[in-house]
Structure 1
Amino acid sequence: MKKRNRQAELIKQLSDRELTFHLLFTQGLMIGLSIILFWVFQTEWEHYLGLFVIDVKLFIIAVTIGLVVVGIDLILMKVLPAHYYDDGGINERIFSKRSFLNITFLALLIALCEEILFRGIIQTNIGWLWASLIFAVVHIRYWTSWFLIMNVTLLSLTIGWIFEWTGSLLVTIIIHFIIDFLLGLHIRMTSMHGKTVERNVDHG
């Protein structure tokens, strides 16, 4: 609980511009690390580019899985206590004030950078389990809650398994994008609704 409170205080101290900078900087680091590991593992370009394949069937699978994951999350948000999803206010700060286009851009950027690194580079070279666990560990802000730990670990294992099954990095990118995009929109809409209620109460 103390760690979560410290995390929340640190987030509150950041301006919107500083928060955006940290987000972009983190994604830039992931791309830089992907390039370094690509060279370290001596990955062949033809093999790597072969991961970026998709057809109609795989696209439908990706969209369906993304929507199912979001649906399960939204249901759990309704039935579980609010503190189960408390990450120290980071996701709320990231998405609550952003426009539709900004949320789309961020969700796409995060999906591309994280899937290229964790699935495209790490999983391809050291395996599904290790890549999935590293992905979960890197999302350190979720380690303030046992539920969030379990949530992100299961999601990482699932996306990693889907990559093993389909052999398509585009499938996992689409799934990742849909999850971040729709949950980002949910946070934005919930925030707007809360402000509307507050204004109605103030004027009531």
Structure 2
Amino acid sequence: MVCGGFVCTKNALSALNILYVLVSLLLIGVAAWGKWFGLVSSFQVVAGVIGVGIFLFLVAFVGLCGALKHHQVLLFFYMIILFTVFVLQFSVSCACLALNKDQQNLLLEAGWNKSEGTQMDVERTLNCCGFSQVNVNGTCPASCFNKPSSCVTCSNILQSYAGQVLQFVGGIGLFFSFTEILGVWLTHRYRNLKDPRANAGAFL
């Protein structure tokens, strides 16, 4: 069977969905590991990552079942969902790559103010206190807070890494968005191919 035929397309689509299953399990595992060892105390962050992992696992499972059984309905819904995810992920990835310094700072401050658990994680990990100023009358889990005058604000440290992180996230997002559009194309092609082992007069 030449590549581009029924079996080749089926195997390529199955392999792509197996990759998505592995990525989803990795997301769930890393989030659970971070929470278990106390690296991330924010429940919202852990729940968000696990939620994305479960969603990706379900989508990949639908695609894998549709590919193995050549099920028209499953393949159709899989193609629609994957295309929607592609549009959203491609848009977010481009936005991450296009943010300037001022927009990055606004984004960081919005994320900082959203969760006290995330604030504590950042302060403890980066050894800094406060976002734009150190509150000597408050509390801070950073080791430098024993001598508050030696502490730096977290915005200075975060801004130095924000550009690199956004570039990395945007690049990874773009990579996976292209695998998603590949999955949409493979699914569309696979749905319109006839199974050579099936009845030649059957409608597929």
> TM-score normalised to the size of structure 1?
0.33
Larger of the two Rg values belongs to structure: 2
Which structure is higher in RCO with an 8 Å CA cutoff and minimum separation 6?
A: 1
Greater percentage in helix = 1
